[in-house]
Structure 1
Amino acid sequence: MAHAIEAPASTTAEGPTSHTPNQTAKTGGALAIRPDQTAWTPEQGAVLRQSGIKDQVTPAELSGFLHLCQRTGLDPFSQQIYLIGRFSKKDGREVYTPQTGIDGYRVIAQRVTAQTAGSYGYEDTVWCDASGRWRDVWLADEPPAAAKVTVIRNGQRFSAVATFREYVQTFPDGNPKGLWAKMPAGQIAKCSEALALRKAFPHDLAGVYTAEEMDQADNTAPMAAPRDFIAEAKNAETAAIVRVVWMNAKHAGAPDDVLNRIGAIGAEKTAAEQQPTPDNDTAADEVVEAEVVTEDSDTPEQPAASLDEMLDKLFLQAIENRFHIDVLKQIAGAARAEKVIDMEVEGPPPARERMTLGALIDLLLADAQAANAERNAA
């Protein structure tokens, strides 16, 4: 639900009232944030909208931002702190988070130090190259691998290291963009300083991050190259592997013309594998005799119609849900127990060539293992 940035007028015992000029003067202007303020005023809300905050911002995000401004003493109307929206797939909307610059961190650190009569300072910033060697000045053309900043507060050292690869803002092709391309050493040093300051002033800087730290949140993931299922089918060594490719393509939502092309490739490979040769004529005869013996054995027969229905359901579930490997192994065990593991059945679409039930289960196992590998890679 959208929420407009506005707040009710303040109230007195007599009822709602508006801010008078005298009241405004006492608080330092219409945009000044009062310590006892619990919601943004209409005037403040109007300026926040102009800064880029949309009506989709939630009341909780606005209330949290007000509290943070009061706690840190940073002024959103002087661009010391701002609320940045970034689209979240999880929430289906722009999620707003407080953000400041490194100067805002320094202002808070100096103010807190003055208020507590303490002290704070820095050691020299150092940068690290890819080999792990630290330098007190960065002169190389390539970006540093990391930067280290040490803050000293009340005599205690607070060090922090920020690596370039974790914070760099990039284009979709992976190349640095903006100041990360022009001044990489300065940008990563700011991130390291922010980390060190947050260690030194945890209460005062909790909940707000610097712009340099959040730049990487805007990175666009590179588009993955589309999977070429037809090429995989052409390069497959056997027709059985082509059937696995067809199942993967079906599961990935490939169009019918791609599935048909893969099916044609599978049919070609099946035909090539079934071509008789002088060396296997005898073996073929033996297979025929073995099949005749099997038919005369005590192996129980099943009605063809019910078996076909079962197999069609098996194909559908395997393609749509990717059978778990353990489930397929249980099916294989049951088939052996029922003495139907060597029964010839119709293979998966589109070719539907004849194979044993054991070969079919092995095929589905290969598909399930490929799916499991995909999930682990993701």
Structure 2
Amino acid sequence: MSNNALQLAEFKLEGGQVLTADTVKNYLVSGGGNVSDQEVLMFVELCKAKGMNPFERDAYLIKYKSKNPQFDTPATIIVGKDFFIKKANENSAFEGMKAGIVVVDKENQIHEREGSLKLPDETIVGGWCEVYRSDRKVPTKAIVAYDEYVQKKGNGEVNSMWSSKPGTMIRKVAQSQALREAFPNELRGLYQQEEMGIDGKLPQKPIEPGMASSEQKNKIMSMAKQKGLFNFNDMKNTKELEYFCTSNGYDLKNLKFEEAGEVLQLLIEYDPKGNTNIEEEAQDVEFTEVTESTEENIEGQVGLL
């Protein structure tokens, strides 16, 4: 793909930010994989077409590293949890919705219940949602089967989100399908995390362009761990890492994007034993992914994330 195509694939968001290929690659890719130019272009154009602001977490571009180096894992575009509701509310015909779960009781009777409450002797078998529009005589209703969407690990076990909140998760799937059918112009081609088999909690905090990205912070923290300056088991204790940055002229609380690489290089060259011959490359580091829970643990201490 030509650089001209990527340069043209940019637009100014309502919040004033400018979405470009560089900002996507630097700030908006989750999962640790390397996105292609085509995937970046698709993401930018979809955000432009649907009015999504990825800096406000309306959309995510997710690309996992492939376990087989001979095959490239395709990127996935996921819509944020509140975007469907936001787009529906922007339509003057929207008159609300109801959503819930489908359960089977001990008498083998099927019940549709609003909300996600399941009694101890009941089994969740699905979710449902009704969306109401003033310009339609009947509501748009979606009923989805639990077995078709429950997400499992490689060993066949149900993953943490679906095992701990099965009613909430299948209810969200039903909401997505009903809203997409009720508002095809606004939501056609968009899918949420629960529908796409994406495991794990996606970050919710807005992104501030110009500051160090999550990937950069991830690398800094992982290298600091190797050098004995940080411990992921004691997230609130960042004093040594703070001191290291301050002594080298950097403010850990307000680390800029262009400064993050310099801090990482200093960490690579740093020898806590005082030796001068250090042969270590950044790509050899085993990085620990920075998740939202990690951010919440550190936030308020030094503002690294």
Which TM-score band applies after superposition, normalised by the shorter structure? Answer: 0.5 to 0.7
- Specify the code of the residue in structure 2 equivalent to 1:201: F
Structure 1 SS opposite 2:124 = coil
Partner deviation per Cα, 1:286-329 (whole Å, 9 max, x = no partner): xxxxxxxxxxxxxxxxxxxxxxxxxxxxxxxxxxxxxxxxxxxx
Label 1:58 to 1:173 Cα distance change in 2 as closer, same or farther (>3 A).
Answer: closer
| Structure 2 counterpart of 1:146 | 126
Structure 2 SS opposite 1:171 = coil
Task: Find out whether 1:213 has 2:213 as its counterpart.
Answer: no
Structure 1 SS opposite 2:128 = strand
Alignment partner of 1:108 out of 87, 96, 107: 87
Aligned partners of 1:101 and 1:187: how far apart in 2?
Answer: 14
After superposition, residues 82-97 of structure 1 pair within 5 angstroms as 82-86=60-64, 87=66, 92-97=71-76
| Structure 2 counterpart of 1:174 | 156
Note if contact 1:72-1:108 (Cα within 8 Å) is conserved in structure 2.
no
| Structure 2 counterpart of 1:75 | 53
TM-score (norm 2): 0.52
Aligned partners of 2:58 and 2:14: how far apart in 1?
Answer: 19
| Structure 1 counterpart of 2:147 | 165
Note if contact 1:143-1:185 (Cα within 8 Å) is conserved in structure 2.
no
Task: Find out whether 1:122 has 2:91 as its counterpart.
Answer: no
Over the matched positions of the two proteins, sequence identity in percent amounts to 25
Alignment partner of 1:133 out of 81, 93, 110: 110
Structure 1 SS opposite 2:194 = helix
Task: Find out whether 1:197 has 2:179 as its counterpart.
Answer: yes
What 5-or-longer segments of structure 1 have no aligned partner? 11-23, 34-39, 219-378
Aligned partners of 2:123 and 2:196: how far apart in 1?
Answer: 18
Structure 2 SS opposite 1:136 = strand
Aligned partners of 1:149 and 1:84: how far apart in 2?
Answer: 27
Note if contact 1:73-1:108 (Cα within 8 Å) is conserved in structure 2.
no
Per-residue deviation at 1:48? 2.6
- Specify the code of the residue in structure 1 equivalent to 2:41: S
Flag the structure with larger Rg.
Answer: 1
Aligned partners of 2:102 and 2:42: how far apart in 1?
Answer: 36
- Specify the code of the residue in structure 2 equivalent to 1:147: G
Per-residue deviation at 1:197? 0.6
Aligned partners of 1:128 and 1:183: how far apart in 2?
Answer: 14
Aligned partners of 2:125 and 2:150: how far apart in 1?
Answer: 11
Alignment partner of 1:63 out of 41, 51, 55: 41
TM-score (norm 1): 0.43
Q: Per chain length, whose mean CA-contact separation is higher, i.e. which structure has more relative contact order (CA < 8 Å, sep 6+)?
A: 2
Label 1:46 to 1:173 Cα distance change in 2 as closer, same or farther (>3 A).
Answer: closer
| Structure 1 counterpart of 2:218 | none
Per-residue deviation at 1:63? 1.7
